[in-house]
Amino acid sequence: MKHSNIAIFVPHAGCRQKCSFCDQQTITAQRSLPSHADVRCICEEAFREISDLSQTEIAFFGGSFTAVPHPYMVELLEAAQPYAQRCRGIRISTRPDAIDGGMLHMLRTYGVRAIELGAQSLDDRVLELNGRGHTAADVERASEMIRREGFELGLQIMPGLYGSTPESDRATAEAVCRIHPDTVRIYPVVILDGTPLGELFKAGTYQPRPFADMVGEVAEMMLGFMAEKIRIIKVGLHASEFVGDHALGGYYHPAFRELCESRIFRGVIRAAVIAQDGMKWKDVYKIAVHPGCISKAIGQRQENLHYFYENYGTRLYIIPDQTVAPLTCKIVKEN
Ligand code: SF4
């Protein structure tokens, strides 16, 4: 059953400052904050269209939900509550330093079941350089409270931030694995015009790592999360013409996740061949993958096929096989 969110954006509501990379009005393509009536209207419309609400959540995204002025937070929650009772509940995203016991109790009474924290990094230096205003310890403390109170916990991380390195981002992913949230979203940084990060980029002070390197780094993180059975619910900013128009650099790609999964396949196929034939690569291999993974195994513009031909002199034929698990492969033995 496919999960869906009825997304209600509260751009920058509750934010104490603007983080270096953030412009929620561009990301959400929304300038104003929703009212009680807006929330009801969005829910009514969505409920008319969704036939099975059992996997649907009402999601307040785009701000620091638990830091918005209390009367406004209650206004939004009261508007959503009757609908939350008819679907899976409410999901919110917020800052790690805006969580306390009283807040969690209140959220539960209104039907909130999942809380996502914008962690971005678990390196205090990177957090400070990007104006986050919280520490890695805040992420750990808030995560612990959220889990203890029985909410689903999600962490959002942003590899490639100003001041980060492949090592610091890898350490962040490892720290996330230790915290072990239920879900993770990976948003490789997108440099938006009009943000402090955009200014650093234009001044040449901040130079993001090469795009292809970031694809490899995120693929490695994904493997780590999958090994820990942490559900990866998003990789890359959602595709939007607003983001595309305002991106100065960084890692905006409408199919970033697919790029990373193709990179994962590169490693999976290489490992399968080496396990079978050592480093004696044959001229041709027939590789079976799950039917839903054919394009990922081949790669955009057939880049995986080119990679194996150029590096190992081998031609791959990718074929569908229902019995092969997603993101794995099986070498088909020739008779
Ligand atoms: S990243 Fe989160 S806390 Fe920072 S400005 Fe954006 S919405 Fe606010």
Least confident residue range of 1-10, 131-140, 168-177: 1-10
Residue whose Cα lies nearest atom 8 of ligand 1: it is: 15
59 lies in some domain: yes
The response to whether residue 270 sits with its C-beta less than 6 Å from ligand 1 reads no
Pairing mode, strands 152-157 and 330-331: unpaired
Residue 241: its pLDDT value, please?
A: 62
C-alpha to C-alpha distance for 66 and 134, rounded to whole angstroms: 15
pLDDT band at 17 (very low <50, low <70, confident <90, very high): confident
Instruction: Using the predicted structure, report yes or no on whether residue 243 has a pLDDT greater than 80.
Output: no
Same domain, 169 and 290: no
The closest alpha carbon to 39, from 70, 4, 83, 5, belongs to 83
DSSP 64-87: -GGGS-HHHHHHHHHHHHHHHTTS
Q: How far is the CA of 213 from the centre of ligand 1 (A)?
A: 26
Average pLDDT, the chain: 95
Please tell me whether residue 312 adopts helix, strand or coil conformation: helix
The residue type of 268 is V
262 lies in some domain: no
Please, what sign has the CA dihedral across residues 51, 57, 63, 68? Answer: positive
Q: How far is the CA of 240 from the centre of ligand 1 (A)?
A: 19
CA-23 nearest atom, ligand 1: 6
Instruction: Using the predicted structure, report yes or no on whether residue 239 has a pLDDT greater than 80.
Output: no
The closest alpha carbon to 250, from 202, 296, 292, belongs to 202
The number of domains in the chain is 2
Residue 28: its pLDDT value, please?
A: 80
Please, what sign has the CA dihedral across residues 237, 239, 242, 243? Answer: positive
Instruction: Using the predicted structure, report yes or no on whether residue 244 has a pLDDT greater than 90.
Output: no
Q: How far is the CA of 79 from the centre of ligand 1 (A)?
A: 24
Please, what sign has the CA dihedral across residues 116, 118, 120, 123? Answer: negative
CATH code for position 63: 3.20.20.70
The residue type of 40 is R
The response to whether residue 19 sits with its C-beta less than 6 Å from ligand 1 reads yes
pTM of the shown model? 0.93
pLDDT band at 335 (very low <50, low <70, confident <90, very high): low
pLDDT tens across 98-113, in order? 999 999 999 999 999 9
Termini Cα distance of the chain? 39
Same domain, 183 and 98: yes
Same domain, 121 and 247: yes
Average pLDDT over residues 74-86: 96
**DSSP state letter for 329:** -
Domain boundary among 238, 254, 270: 254
* Contact assessment for residue 186 and residue 221, using Cβ atoms and an 8 Å cutoff: yes
Write out the two tokens for 204: 């040449």
Same domain, 150 and 239: yes
* Contact assessment for residue 139 and residue 30, using Cβ atoms and an 8 Å cutoff: no
The response to whether residue 209 sits with its C-beta less than 6 Å from ligand 1 reads no
Q: How far is the CA of 196 from the centre of ligand 1 (A)?
A: 13
Average pLDDT over residues 254-279: 96
Same domain, 300 and 220: no
Instruction: Using the predicted structure, report yes or no on whether residue 157 has a pLDDT greater than 90.
Output: yes
CA-63 nearest atom, ligand 1: 7
Residue 29: its pLDDT value, please?
A: 79
Range of the domain at 321: 279-331
The closest alpha carbon to 91, from 59, 120, 135, 66, belongs to 59
Residue whose Cα lies nearest atom 3 of ligand 1: it is: 15
Average pLDDT over residues 138-160: 98
Residue whose Cα lies nearest atom 5 of ligand 1: it is: 18
**DSSP state letter for 270:** H
Percent of the chain predicted with pLDDT > 90: 90
Same domain, 222 and 287: no
Least confident residue range of 10-19, 89-98, 134-143, 178-187: 10-19
Q: How far is the CA of 281 from the centre of ligand 1 (A)?
A: 49
Question: Which of 9, 15, 23, 192 for a ligand 1 pocket mutation test, highest count of atoms within 8 Å of Cβ?
Answer: 15
Same domain, 127 and 176: yes
Task: Say which residues have a Cβ less than 8 Å from residue 186's Cβ, sequence separation at least 6.
Answer: 156, 157, 158, 159, 218, 221, 222, 232, 234, 235, 236
Q: Which residues pair with 335 in a beta bridge?
A: none
Instruction: Using the predicted structure, report yes or no on whether residue 189 has a pLDDT greater than 80.
Output: yes
Instruction: Using the predicted structure, report yes or no on whether residue 334 has a pLDDT greater than 90.
Output: no
